[in-house]
Amino acid sequence: MAIKKIASGWQVDIQPEGRGGRRIRKTFPTKRQAEQFDTEQKAKANAGEWTPPLKDKRRLADLINTWYELHGYTLKDCDNRLRVLNGLCSRLGNPIAKNFTSEDWLKYRKERLTQKLERREKLVEPNTINHEQAYLSAVFGRLIKLKNWPFDNPLKGVSKLIIDEPDLVYLEKDQIKSLLAALSESKNTDVLVISKICLSTGARWGEAESLRGEQVKQGKIHFTKTKNSKVRAVPISAELEREVLTGRPRFGRLFTGSSHQAFQRAIERARIQLPDGQMTHVLRHTFASHYMINDGNILKLKDILGHQTLTMTLRYAKLAPRHLADAVHKNPLATLYCQQSVNRDVENHV
């Protein structure tokens, strides 16, 4: 019998090349996977393309370590990514990598959606699981490119969870005024200036907080070592340039220590409610949103923010004053009322 049920699952026991050929035994967790393997091996044998399955006993943790040593360490977020991958590997039970399938992932994903974050009552977000999938798929994909993994990527073709686009959160003008007032009361001498840099340039908090004196010159802030490794220069007012440089070194770090907690306390004093994960980043959204509200150019905004693709910037396009404005005049009610008005004018004329 080619496929039979055993204690550990479903065992495939075949000789694809016929009697006298090499015998293959392999166990799968489901009958469907066993049948699929059986069909694939026989099809390859009939086409004269069959080769004995490769032996690779490496476990998922071995692949993650190999990926990190060969490539992962070069990434800017390497430490965080390795932490996520190791946690994911542990939850999966560190399976033999060759036996890990897309079905295994889908089962894990379903279970993961019902889990709660450690030390918190909140359920794991679908976006978190999508990141896990992307990171794990990248491990297989990179090792395949490096010819270190001779099999397919088990997550290839697996769609990510569909997530509703979140609301675009940004500060209105009155909220900006309240925040600036709260920041000016802070004992932290840097938090107000760092916030003004973010509001004036769309910089990420980390980019502004780590600025060096030599990066502020000739009416521009030159951002280096950015998230996507691209250098960009954004113009600022003479007033802001003076405020940034006054009393601070012209070379080396402009701001010492971390100002994140000081910003958070200012947000609380200003009584501004923000979604999770939108603390300092709301300043970047606020810059981009008001830039488009003031009829800015979407292509220039892409360069200012340092986005790699226009798709990342287009979320702000809907705030432009003329965005979809013709919907007011081209909807059926508007054209109906317009026609009725024309008819009345004709009748009155007659």
CA-based angle 326:330:335, to the nearest 5? 145
DSSP state letter for 166:
P
**Residue extents of the structural domains in the chain:** 3-46, 60-145, 173-319
Phi, psi angles (nearest 5°) of residue 10: -115, 120
Tokens of 176: 């900006």
Residue 350: pLDDT band by 50, 70, 90 thresholds?
low
Given 265, 281, 315, 323, the catalytic residue: 281
Among 112, 196, 248, 284, the one annotated catalytic: 284
Residue 55 or residue 200, greater confidence: 200
CA distances 250 to 176, 331, 342, Å, are 29, 58, 69
Asked whether the predicted pLDDT for residue 176 surpasses 70, the reply is yes
* CA angle at 137 for the pair 133 and 142, rounded to the nearest 5°: 150
CATH code of the domain occupying 173-319: 1.10.443.10
Active site residue 227: yes
Indicate if the pLDDT at residue 341 is higher than 80. Answer: no
State the catalytic residue, choosing from 196, 204, 248, 290.
Answer: 204
Q: Is 307 one of the catalytic residues?
A: yes
Q: Out of 112-116, 157-161, 259-263, which region has the weakest mean confidence (pLDDT)?
A: 112-116
